[in-house]
Amino acid sequence: MKRVGIPRALIYYKFFPMWDTFFKQLGAEVVVSPLTNKQIREKAIAIAPDEDCYSTKIFFGHVLELKDDVDFLFIPRFGSKHKTDMGCPKFIGLADVLRSMFPDLPTIIMPHYNIAKGRDNKITFFLKALKVGLIFTKNPFRLITAFRKAIKVYKQHYEDLIINLDTLTEWEARDDFHLNAKPEKIPGEKPLKIALIGHSYVINDEFCSLDIRKKLKNFGVNVITSEQIPRSIINQQLSILENRLYFDFEREILGSIMYFLEKESVDGIIHLMVFGCGPDSLVGDLAMRFSKRMPNIQILQLVLDDLTAEAGLKTRLEAFIDMLQRRKEINAVNIPVLRVP
């Protein structure tokens, strides 16, 4: 059985259920690199180009972890799935960079997919998937079935992940409704609600995010993530920008921040940023500008890299949560706090 290696980093967190289904239906064995750990990070930092963002460096570590155990590496050159806006250019170049840096890597399967610039569509997507599938089987029935099942799984994954407007409204209105792991202990009468915003490959990577989701849960916080926000809300928020944002994945980040600043339905926002990320620095700056115009909801921006210390992050989180808790208590007894008109 042919073994396909999939690095557990970057767009793995967007598309893995689809890829996994596709390759397994074709009869391949899917091998995913382990959860990010210290060893992967150290390998990554030692060999990745210094200029790369932390998330890309981590990707290098995952590839090195897999390379000796698989026949193929699957590293698609992903341009975009939005009709005008692009993904990060790093996703397009990664496979080529890796191949040139490490000539002994297994064969890299690297289809290019780009709606915005490559004019890809459903038909070209299907044809590109078939081309990949032919590496594993020549059986047309099996190829088509694998493609159909993969798309179905992908759609279901996003239906499960992204909540609808009614669910969001319910979450905003109720204190006892949780979209993510429910905290065991909730300090005070009302739990804090926090929007955790960032790239899916950061907020879902326990090691890279220093397990911030678990820390928030231990603080008794009711969390919603940017991944879960209805797309209609994100599109609506971004439609007020004078200029198009251009980066597809950043739409989710900025749109979510703008929504919660305006709606004031959370107590605070935590924006996880990646050191060395160009799109993040652009969106981080825009977020702070919006925050100055709508200052009633506090934003904590945390920049993550290999030098981010767990103790430092915990202290900043504690201070932020303490501040939000005090504001909530003051509001609860109707003592007026300074609110900007």
Which residues of this chain interact with ligand SF4, rule CB under 6 A?
10, 53, 55-56, 88, 90, 199, 274, 277-280
The minimum distance between CB 248 and ligand SF4, in angstroms, equals: 10
Name the minimum Å distance from CB 265 to ligand SF4: 27
| Helix (H) / strand (E) containing 51 | none
Nearer to ligand SF4, 55 or 226 (CB): 55
| Alpha-carbon span 96 to 42, nearest angstrom | 22
Sequence-separated (6 or more) residues with CB below 8 Å from residue 154: 15, 17, 18, 21
Cβ nearer to ligand SF4, comparing 277 with 297: 277
**CB-based contacts of 122: which residues, under 8 Å, 6+ apart?**
none
Distance (Å, rounded) from C-alpha 205 to C-alpha 201? 6
Cα 75 to Cα 79, 223, 235, 323, distances in angstroms? 12, 32, 29, 43
CB of 249 to ligand SF4, least distance (A): 6
CB of 327 to ligand SF4, least distance (A): 31
Between 56 and 222, name the residue whose CB sits nearer to ligand SF4: 56
CB-based contacts of 41, cutoff 8 Å, min separation 6: 58, 61, 207, 306
**Measured from the CB atom, is 88 or 163 closer to ligand SF4?**
88
User: Residue 136: helix, strand or coil by DSSP?
Assistant: coil
The nearer residue to ligand SF4, 48 or 163, going by C-beta atoms, is: 48
Shortest distance (Å) from residue 278 CB to ligand SF4: 6
- Written as six digits, the tokens of 56 are 């890309």
In the complex, the smallest distance separating the C-beta of residue 274 from ligand SF4, rounded to whole angstroms, is 4
Q: Which is nearer to ligand SF4, 10 or 150 (CB)?
A: 10
